[in-house]
Amino acid sequence: MAIRVRLAVLLAERDMKSKDLARQVGITEANLSLLKQGKVKGIRFETLERICRHLDCQPGDLLRYEEDPP
């Protein structure tokens, strides 16, 4: 998939643990882990909004489009 999730990068930049963000956002650590690995097919805007609020970022900071090599 050409959409890359940069959640791990943002967590590292903010020195925040996944479990803390999951608790603040109101999702399970397992679901946050799947999102962090890019193994989800979608994300609710409500969840995206809460992640952005707690990481003080924009949705574009979390998601990147990178073309897959041919």
pLDDT value for 69: 72
pLDDT value for 60: 94
pLDDT-derived band at 67 (thresholds 50, 70, 90) equals confident
**Which residues, 6 or more positions from 3, have their beta carbon under 8 angstroms from its beta carbon?**
38, 63, 64, 65, 66
Q: pTM of the predicted model, to two decimals?
A: 0.88
Over residues 8-48, the pLDDT tens digits come to 999 999 999 999 999 999 999 999 999 999 899 899 999 99
Task: Please name each of the domains of the chain with its CATH number.
Answer: 3-65 (1.10.260.40)
